[in-house]
Amino acid sequence: GVVYGRVESAPMRKFIESIRNRGKPALVNPANRLSLVQIEDLADLYLAILEADAPPPIINAVSEVLTWSYVAEAIAKSAGVSDQPDIIPPNDAMMLGGPAIYMPIDMSVSSDFARSTLGWKPSRPTFKESMEKSSEPPAASKEAAPNP
């Protein structure tokens, strides 16, 4: 999933910056979904993988699946810009960068395997809970994660 939390992944920061710079969100298909994972929950999963006797070669880390529309509108409201999105063609999403390049695709994946095989249980606030409690976008300009 796309990482959010105390500091944002580079893709999420780029998406937030594009909303701030445009003054509103831009979406391809508002109903498409995005998988998200909180950074500390992701760290817990990494530890579980490292401690596993037979770690799986590929695993999904998802604590929540939301529509692009919800994510973009929540970020816009927190940033103090219009939450009414422009609907753009898929090729234009590529120009926005960050996770926006995936907007034309429904990015819903499951972490059932991680939960059942490794006992992973995300416990931190979900993106939705974080946005409902915060008056600031998840990627506060005070602190930024290094580019991977």
| pLDDT bracket for residue 2 (50, 70, 90) | confident
Residue 86 burial by Cβ neighbours in a 10 Å radius (0-12, 13-18, 19+):
exposed
What does pTM read for this prediction?
Answer: 0.79
Per DSSP, the three-state class of 35 is: strand
Residues 29-56 as b or e (16 or more Cβ within 10 Å = b): beebbbbbbbeebbebbeebbeeeeeee
Asked if the model's pLDDT at residue 146 lies above 50, the reply is no
Asked if the model's pLDDT at residue 78 lies above 80, the reply is yes
Residue 119 has a pLDDT of 94
Separation of alpha carbons 123 and 87, rounded Å: 34
The CB-side HSE value for 145 (13 A sphere, CA atoms) comes to: 17
Separation of alpha carbons 19 and 7, rounded Å: 17
Residue 115: what are its φ and ψ, rounded to 5°? -70, -45
Residue 104: what are its φ and ψ, rounded to 5°? -70, -10
Pairing outcome for strands 33-38 and 64-67:
antiparallel
The string of pLDDT tens digits covering residues 7-54 is 667 777 888 888 888 899 999 998 999 999 999 999 999 999 999 998
> What's 107's DSSP letter?
B
The string of pLDDT tens digits covering residues 45-66 is 999 999 999 888 899 999 999 9
Residue 134 has a pLDDT of 66
Residue 143 has a pLDDT of 40
| pLDDT bracket for residue 123 (50, 70, 90) | very high
